């Protein structure tokens, strides 16, 4: 009964690769390059200056960091930021955090897939404009790391405990990702990506602000259609006549509009007609998805659960992991609860607070999901 399966035995045969003088991945590897000195960081920084728009943010050495570091031999400072975010626990935990749906099904977005889609949109714009794609990607991947469980409702929950309030952008940059020692530019883009915040200081930060709104307006609609909450026929003409009803067409037109407008006017923005379509799509989502009675009830439950957990750990500080038992007990507790995934938070609510599982959010119960409809880019 303990005999290895055939696939496991086959996998073990490739443990050390193939070859003697040069070890290759495949027995029949044939990929070859013309040998020349590796492209190290300094050379690649110079290529940025030759190829990017003069208004782009150029990488330089180790970058502007709170704690000085030695530069990497091969990667630029913004590439290191991106890599640190991708390998961080806070980024991984986004897979278990709400985008719109608590407990998303296999075919609904999580906060992680949202961040990835924002990064795709942002990098597409950056390349079209000539902005720095590595910095843009780092900001986009990290922009929502400050979100707590349950989506934006977590901000309402934690506002109660912090004098300055809880805003996922600044919280992500100044608390959650602080230990990564990211560059000033990346942190600024994360801190100020929301349209209600001050404008980012870089071209790349402005791009991420647009990419975030473009991505969530399109994919939240697609998820709601798949879940049977709305239909494409419900969309107003101000949306459909300009950008259509399919996510892939909407993304292409919104992204194209930002590139064309920016390169024509010199200002990062969108032409009025397409901007109105984006605004009307967001209004439609707000009225028909985000503030529908079921969504509001779900949000109120999230607020009650998270506030209850913070209060519980303030009363029982010994149950907090040691790294969260800080001099500022409230901030340490909010940091711990804010870092939880949806499932972890709701399991704690049931176990520690006595919540009835039947009263906890369960997400949308889709009438008919067609995963194939979501596979076209």
Of 95, 50, 59, which is closest to residue 80 (Cα–Cα)? Answer: 59
d(CA 14, CA 370): 38
Domain shared by 241 and 301, yes or no: no
In a domain, 375, yes or no: no
Tokens of 226: 């798949």
Cβ neighbours of 184 (radius 10 Å):
13
Domain shared by 241 and 255, yes or no: yes
Q: Which residue has the higher pLDDT, 359 or 374?
A: 359
Q: Which helix (H) or strand (E) holds 66?
A: none
| Domain final residue, candidates 292, 309, 339 | 292
In a domain, 369, yes or no: no
The residue segments making up the domain with residue 237 are 71-292
d(CA 329, CA 326): 6
Task: Report the range of poorest mean pLDDT among 24-28, 311-315, 369-373.
Answer: 369-373
Domain shared by 209 and 222, yes or no: yes
| pLDDT score at 13 | 84
Average pLDDT over residues 264-285: 98
Residue-averaged pLDDT of the chain:
93
Q: Say whether 98 sits in a helix, a strand or coil.
A: strand
In a domain, 134, yes or no: yes
Q: Say whether 110 sits in a helix, a strand or coil.
A: strand
Domain shared by 209 and 310, yes or no: no
| Domain final residue, candidates 272, 292, 312 | 292
Domain shared by 282 and 304, yes or no: no
- Render pLDDT for 122-159 as a digit per residue (tens, 0 to 9): 999 999 999 999 999 999 999 999 999 998 999 999 99
In a domain, 56, yes or no: no
In a domain, 187, yes or no: yes
Three-class DSSP labels, 118-176: HHHHHHHHHHHHCCCHHHHHHHHHHCCCCCCCCCCHHHHHHHCCCCCCCCHHHHHHHHH
Domain shared by 150 and 269, yes or no: yes
Q: What is the number of alpha carbons within 13 Å of residue 45 lying toward its C-beta?
A: 18
Domain shared by 142 and 282, yes or no: yes
| pLDDT score at 100 | 83
For the chain, what percentages of helix, strand and coil (3-state, to nearest 5) are there? 60, 0, 40
Domain shared by 261 and 304, yes or no: no
Please determine, for residue 101, whether its predicted confidence score (pLDDT) is greater than 50.
Answer: yes
In a domain, 267, yes or no: yes
Q: Say whether 18 sits in a helix, a strand or coil.
A: strand
Domain shared by 195 and 108, yes or no: yes
d(CA 288, CA 221): 10
Domain shared by 137 and 235, yes or no: yes
Please determine, for residue 322, whether its predicted confidence score (pLDDT) is greater than 70.
Answer: yes
In a domain, 242, yes or no: yes
Tokens of 164: 């300055």
Domain shared by 96 and 175, yes or no: yes
Domain count, the chain: 2
Q: What is the CATH number of the domain that holds 169?
A: 1.10.3210.10
Q: Which residue has the higher pLDDT, 260 or 104?
A: 260
| Domain final residue, candidates 274, 292, 310 | 292
In a domain, 270, yes or no: yes
Average pLDDT over residues 18-25: 92
| pLDDT score at 372 | 33
Average pLDDT over residues 1-21: 87
Domain shared by 183 and 276, yes or no: yes
Tokens of 200: 């980012």
């Amino acid at each position: 009964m303990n005999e290895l399966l055939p696939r496991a035995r086959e996998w073990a045969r490739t443990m050390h690769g193939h070859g003697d003088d040069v070890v290759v991945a495949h027995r029949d590897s044939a990929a070859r390059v013309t040998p020349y000195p590796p492209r190290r960081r300094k050379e690649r920084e110079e290529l940025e200056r030759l190829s990017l728009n003069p208004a782009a943010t150029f990488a330089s050495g180790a970058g502007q960091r709170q704690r000085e570091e030695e530069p990497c031999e091969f990667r630029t400072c913004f590439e290191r930021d991106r890599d640190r975010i991708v390998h961080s626990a806070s980024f991984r935990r986004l897979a278990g955090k709400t985008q719109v749906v608590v407990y998303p099904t296999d075919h609904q977005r999580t906060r992680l897939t949202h961040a990835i889609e924002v990064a795709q949109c942002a990098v597409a714009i950056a390349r079209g404009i000539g902005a720095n794609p590595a910095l843009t990607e780092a900001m986009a991947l990290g922009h929502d790391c400050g979100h707590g469980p349950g989506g934006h409702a977590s901000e309402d929950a934690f506002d109660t405990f912090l004098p300055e309030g809880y805003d996922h952008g600044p919280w992500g940059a100044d608390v959650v990702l602080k230990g990564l020692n990211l560059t000033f530019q990346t942190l600024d883009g994360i801190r100020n990506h929301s349209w209600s915040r001050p404008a980012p200081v870089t071209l790349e930060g402005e791009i991420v602000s647009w990419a975030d709104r473009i991505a969530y307006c399109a994919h939240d609609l697609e998820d709601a259609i798949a879940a049977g909450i709305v239909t494409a026929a419900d969309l107003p003409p101000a949306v459909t006549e300009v950008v259509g009803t399919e996510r892939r067409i909407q993304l292409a037109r919104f992204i194209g509009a930002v590139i064309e407008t920016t390169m024509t006017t010199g200002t990062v923005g969108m032409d009025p007609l397409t901007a109105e379509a984006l605004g009307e799509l967001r209004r439609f989502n707000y009225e028909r998805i985000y503030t529908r009675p079921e969504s509001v009830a779900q949000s109120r439950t999230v607020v009650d659960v998270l506030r209850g957990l913070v209060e519980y750990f303030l009363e029982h500080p010994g149950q907090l992991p040691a790294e969260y038992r800080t001099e500022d007990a409230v901030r340490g507790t909010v940091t711990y609860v804010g870092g939880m995934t949806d499932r972890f938070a709701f399991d704690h609510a049931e176990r520690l607070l006595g919540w009835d599982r039947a009263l906890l959010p369960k997400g949308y119960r889709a009438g008919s999901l067609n995963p194939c409809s979501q596979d076209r880019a």
